[in-house]
Amino acid sequence: MATETTLYLVRHGLAGEHGSYANDNERPLTEAGQQKTRQVAHRLADLSLKFDLILTSPLVRARQTAEILMDVGLGQQLEEFSPLAPNGRIEDWVGWFSSWKPGKTGCLALVGHEPGLSTWAETLIWGEAKGAIALKKAGVMGLLLPKTGSPVGHSQLFWLTPPRFLLG
């Protein structure tokens, strides 16, 4: 039976200054970034969110963000997914998604970067991206994907929030 998937996109939290690490992939969350990301994670748990699977960019700041989501019990499972790294292609994710079997919640989370995540979201919603969505660090987006067929250009946006409006 075809089921609807709810897709959550989470941008990594505040990380060290760009250029502060020889390899940008290693740049970790700052202390403040970890703290706010943890607050966001707790808030998502309070809202009863639960993901069958969390896919994360392999970069340290994203990986750490995804681990914080796991720590508070939001995900059943965590996997690295290389197309979530900067400049990753949504086509690779769409291919992966076409054979993904959702679990009990039907909810999938992607942890990554900007402008990648909002570009992917726009592509899912409108079929193309115009840079018209702003996703803050540790911000969250929610999309409802169609039951059948490609989600590209056929998804619906129901949630987009910066941390400050989520945490108050």
Identity of the residue, 52 or 122, whose beta carbon is nearer to its own copies in the bound complex: 122
CA distance 132 to 135: 10
CA distance 1 to 10: 28
CA distance 23 to 88: 18
Q: Which of 158, 88, 157 is nearest to 117 (CA)?
A: 88
User: Rounded to 10 degrees, what is the CA torsion of 85, 102, 44, 125?
Assistant: 60
Establish if 42 lies at the interface with its own copies (CB under 8 A): no
Let me know: does 49 contact 74? Beta carbons within 8 Å. yes
Of the candidate spans 7-15, 22-30, 79-87, 126-134, the one that interacts with its own copies by CB under 8 A turns out to be: 126-134
Of positions 41, 59, 90, 144, contacts its own copies by CB under 8 A:
144
Residues contacting its own copies: total by CB under 8 A: 24
Establish if 39 lies at the interface with its own copies (CB under 8 A): no
Of the candidate spans 9-17, 54-62, 87-95, 159-167, the one that interacts with its own copies by CB under 8 A turns out to be: 159-167
Of positions 125, 138, 145, 152, contacts its own copies by CB under 8 A:
125
54: β partners: 78, 109
CA distance 113 to 135: 9
Q: How far is the CB of 101 from its own copies (least distance, A)?
A: 26
Q: How far is the CB of 40 from its own copies (least distance, A)?
A: 12
Which residues of this protein are in contact with its own copies, per CB under 8 A?
43, 46-47, 125-126, 130, 132-134, 136, 144, 153, 155-162, 164-166, 168
